[in-house]
Chains A and B, each alone.
Chain A
Amino acid sequence: DAGVTQSPTHLIKTRGQQVTLRCSPISGHKSVSWYQQVLGQGPQFIFQYYEKEERGRGNFPDRFSARQFPNYSSELNVNALLLGDSALYLCASRTGGRDDGYTFGSGTRLTVV
């Protein structure tokens, strides 16, 4: 059984550009969450989606947006990229309802130059 898959694994963008990151949850997992992890720090919560609806949002600007599709996969979009957006972006999925099934993907390493 495949784990949480994220794509791409690495990405280099220029300031001001837009980026879309993708996440496929474990089969049967209906909840997807996104996290930003700056080098040397713990992950910071960005969004949580369950059954295609936003269930939570962290303290991130409106440049960050996300959505969840009928097959429970998810995309994270970041507009007008800043140098400070350079980070490892992690996706985690769980079954939903109870929070004892979180599994993380390997992340997408975004570098903004």
Chain B
Amino acid sequence: KNQVEQSPQSLIILEGKNCTLQCNYTVSPFSNLRWYKQDTGRGPVSLTIMTFSENTKSNGRYTATLDADTKQSSLHITASQLSDSASYICVVSAEGGKLIFGQGTELSVKP
């Protein structure tokens, strides 16, 4: 069964600190993996997209890694800001373009 699992479910960090979010997937065949940021009540916004041949991709303070062998991905946020408070969703693209969503990690950045 195609599944995407994220951890932790929620995370609270202080402003300026770094954090890492995890994503494990069992989607096959695998096309690509995206990390999205979703503010409360809003649609998800893409942060990074990675194919199976890519190991690392950065977008500003966001760095995503992918290990296609172990089917794991991580999203590292550097020097967190209050505006980083949101839900971060790992999304894996399965055959035919179908997207498999993780449950998300709820990040709260406190001053």
Residues of A within 8 A of B (CB): 4, 6, 31, 33, 35, 41-45, 48, 55-56, 88, 90, 92, 94, 99-100, 102-107, 109
Question: Are the CB atoms of B44 and A90 closer together than 8 Å?
Answer: yes
Hey, which chain B residues are within 8 Å of A107, CB to CB?
Answer: 41-43
Provide the residues of chain B in CB contact with A90, threshold 8 Å.
43-44
Chain B residues, Cβ within 8 Å of A109: 41
Cross-chain contact A43 with B44 (CB below 8 angstroms): yes
Question: Which B residues form the contact surface with A (CB < 8 A)?
Answer: 4, 31-32, 34, 36, 41-46, 49, 89, 93, 96-99, 101-104
Tell me the complex Cα distance, A104–B104, Å. Answer: 16
Cβ-neighbour of A45 out of B31, B49, B98 (below 8 A): B98
> Taking each of A42, A44, A103, which has the highest tally of chain B beta carbons within 10 Å of its own beta carbon?
A42
A99 to B98, CA, bound (A): 9
A94 surroundings in chain B (CB, below 8 A): 97
Compute the total of residue contacts between A and B using a CB distance below 8 Å: 55
| Contact, CB under 8 Å: A99 / B93 | yes
Task: Answer whether A106 and B43 are a contact pair too, CB < 8 Å, given A42-B89, A99-B31.
Answer: yes
Which of B34, B89, B97: most chain A Cβ within 10 A? Answer: B97
Q: Is the CB–CB distance between B44 and A100 below 8 Å?
A: no
Give the chain B neighbours of A4 by CB distance below 8 A. Answer: 43
Provide a sorted-by-A list of 5 A–B residue pairs whose CB atoms are within 8 angstroms. Answer: A35-B101, A99-B32, A99-B97, A104-B45, A107-B43
**Given known contacts A56-B96, A99-B32, A105 and B102 CB-to-CB distance under 8 angstroms:** no
Residues on A with C-beta less than 8 A from B42 are 106-107
Tell me, in angstroms, the Cα distance from A11 to B33 when the chains sit together: 32
A109 and B96 CA atoms in complex are apart in Å by 28
A88 touches B41 (CB 8 A): yes
